[in-house]
Chains A and B, each alone.
Chain A
């Protein structure tokens, strides 16, 4: 999934490659997280939905994308 030399971030415990200019929106695309009812924290800081497209993800960030339960 990732080579050891590249910069990475952790998303829900999974290590993925970091991309230059990566935003929350891009993380969701990479992970194919299409569900709408999300709580997103970047290094424990909550990111509002309006900021997904602009909130920068630093290298090494710990991103938590909490999917709320719906349906079911």
Chain B
């Protein structure tokens, strides 16, 4: 690889020198601002109030984005920003899952704030280089890379015309280019998108690290909401950060032994219990494939069904055979969960890299379910190939899977035909069609570009240009707020319907995953119970995004005596670990209640941010009916006994003698009514009005009565 040749073609547009300084208890107390239109670089101080109210990570991202944009800023306006912030706990190596950073921007899919929680080393390295956040604004005239060199204390904007666009090559080129030697590669991290992010709205970002044991550059994805699209729209080819090396206490924490002690406890749980519980070290989140299928929760054929006989062909037993075993797979140093599985030495059979030996990061559950079962594709090799191309082209596998599945159902219903698809027969199960569409997305041509606009845009296009039934498209198009659903069937869990559609950013399961508590365990039978769960869990899980933490070590392994705790679903011992880790990093003294309060402030800020942009009200929390119940008779009849029984025993209507249309209508009216009651209950619990607007009293009670928030909610509260 002639990286010096590539580098010789760089043009330095700006060099900014800074003094690095030491991190103090998890904070640098400054952020880095870069404007690509002006080629300017600046440092911004972090105030005590910012730390108190916004904590870090996603909180810092939201604060900076609010200040940097106007209510009508669009995703492709130069003033839109991409903010990457690691959070105060990020960079800790003594407790598992502490290497995350949060990426925030205005989304091309939703026109709202989007946030992604991502592994890889960039976030911690950004922090070790001297900054609590990177805020990028403006648009470069031509492709640039931004290089933050913590070893020299410089920030450079360089035109970089020759490097590859696709991530698996680009990340390798830049790692080699900026590392002094082989050993130094571990001190470089790269953020990049890929060629399909140029032409779609579902672009994502890859965050790299160098896997010294394998001598390979690895990547993790900030997938949701199209931030990769924003990245390429700004003509950013890549971000590079470089440090001198990782040491045990670069965060200069208040109490390292306390963190070490909790870290040892957790490591013991992983060693002793993982093989009895989720098998994260062996298969990562892919262990859920057969579980979701067994519980009728695995999306099949655009979320019509929850199971398929062929799932056995793509379950974790098959995927395990492809994942390298026995080498640690943490996406940050010191993570004992080590679930970031990789299928090495795979040969794609299509596209520009056909026949080459590549590595596939995953597939994780969401990818296997999304590009596989939901599209009716039950072939491990195809899953691996789609996973590889989604990653290197810079496409979110979740939006890709849900988008393709929607297009397939439209094709099978005659809404789109071969003329529209360019001859692609888009039936469920047609792997060749899915592969062709992904390559079209990367080339910027054909029907792939239409699919790459996302489900909401496809609905609009199909209704306007092809005279499709808009209501049917609304019913089957699995998006809310413009974001594609992630891969769980929520029909039989009212709480999960709220866990999806009442989210701030759109239906991503990282706010709340309540299906087992609700549908299987029957632990939250009343609206008040569900509302309490839809308060606690979204707030608790928001906290990971404030800290720079991964969610998985919270509950993908659980202490042996967890079952004997009062509230085992919360995993109390791990919550206590988190409180201890935070206090030991920062020197503060919060408890588990203040933990929730910290999140509540940021969560409500994000809700008001949505309001400021003209969204964030009850109407925006509406869900497509397929998330709640059967849209078509084939769905109804596939679970006929269940639905008829529910009609008789729960709705109180005898299905005997009813026409199929009557049964569908009765079920729909009932389920839609339940969701409205859930909205009422959840809004009340969250301190919001019936229209979903945070009340002034609530904002005051949580210490978030900032003038700009009060001014915004006043416009809507009447």
Q: Which residues 524-574 in B have Cβ within 8 Å of A in the complex?
A: 525, 555-556, 558, 562-564, 568-569, 571
Contact A68 B295 (CB under 8 A): no
Residue of B nearest to A37 (CB): B277
Complex CA distance for A21 and B171, rounded to whole angstroms: 60
Smallest CB separation, B440 vs chain A (Å): 32
Can you list 26 A-B contacts with CB-CB less than 8 angstroms, sorted by A residue number?
Answer: A12-B520, A12-B521, A12-B522, A13-B522, A32-B295, A33-B520, A34-B291, A35-B291, A35-B295, A36-B276, A39-B568, A65-B520, A66-B523, A66-B563, A68-B562, A68-B569, A68-B571, A69-B513, A69-B555, A69-B569, A70-B278, A70-B288, A71-B285, A71-B287, A71-B513, A72-B515
Contact B290 A67 (CB under 8 A): no
Q: Which residues 114-172 in B have Cβ within 8 Å of A in the complex?
A: none
Contact A64 B521 (CB under 8 A): yes
Contact A36 B278 (CB under 8 A): yes
B353 touches A (CB below 8 Å): no
For B513, the chain A residues whose CB sits under 8 A away are 69, 71-72
Contact A66 B521 (CB under 8 A): yes
Residue of A nearest to B514 (CB): A69
Smallest CB separation, A38 vs chain B (Å): 8
For B466, the chain A residues whose CB sits under 8 A away are none
B231 touches A (CB below 8 Å): no
Which of B278, B294, B517, B568 touches A71 (beta carbons < 8 Å)?
A: B278
B516 touches A (CB below 8 Å): yes
Contact with A along B677-699 (1 / 0, CB 8 A): 00000000000000000000000
B618 touches A (CB below 8 Å): no
A53 touches B (CB below 8 Å): no
Contact A70 B569 (CB under 8 A): no
Residue of B nearest to A34 (CB): B294
Which of B277, B525, B562 touches A36 (beta carbons < 8 Å)?
A: B277
Contact with A along B412-431 (1 / 0, CB 8 A): 00000000000000000000
Question: A interface, how many residues as a size bin?
Answer: 20 to 34
For B515, the chain A residues whose CB sits under 8 A away are 72
Contact A71 B556, CB 8 Å, known A65-B521, A66-B523? yes
For B520, the chain A residues whose CB sits under 8 A away are 12, 33, 65, 67
B636 touches A (CB below 8 Å): no
Contact A67 B521 (CB under 8 A): yes
Complex CA distance for A69 and B509, rounded to whole angstroms: 12
For B517, the chain A residues whose CB sits under 8 A away are 67, 69
For A12, the chain B residues whose CB sits under 8 A away are 520-522
For A49, the chain B residues whose CB sits under 8 A away are 276
Which of A32, A46, A69, A70 touches B294 (beta carbons < 8 Å)?
A: A32
Which of A36, A64, A68 touches B516 (beta carbons < 8 Å)?
A: A68
Contact A46 B555 (CB under 8 A): no
- A-B pairs under 8 A by CB, number: 69
Contact with B along A40-72 (1 / 0, CB 8 A): 000000100100000000000000111111111
B60 touches A (CB below 8 Å): no
B365 touches A (CB below 8 Å): yes
Main secondary structure of the interface of A (DSSP, over half): loop
For A64, the chain B residues whose CB sits under 8 A away are 521
Complex CA distance for A32 and B291, rounded to whole angstroms: 10
Q: Which residues 35-57 in B have Cβ within 8 Å of A in the complex?
A: none
For B556, the chain A residues whose CB sits under 8 A away are 70-71
Contact A69 B516, CB 8 Å, known A37-B278, A39-B568, A46-B564? yes
Best-buried of A13, A49, A72 by chain B (most CB within 10 Å):
A72
Contact with A along B266-301 (1 / 0, CB 8 A): 000000000011100000010110110011000000
Contact A68 B523, CB 8 Å, known A34-B291, A35-B291? no
Contact with A along B500-524 (1 / 0, CB 8 A): 0000000001000111110011110
Residue of A nearest to B292 (CB): A71
Smallest CB separation, A10 vs chain B (Å): 10
For A35, the chain B residues whose CB sits under 8 A away are 291, 294-295, 516
Supplied contacts A69-B517, A69-B569, A70-B556, 17 more A-B pairs, CB within 8 Å: A12-B521, A13-B522, A35-B291, A35-B516, A36-B277, A37-B277, A39-B562, A46-B564, A66-B563, A66-B569, A67-B516, A67-B521, A68-B558, A68-B571, A69-B513, A69-B555, A72-B513
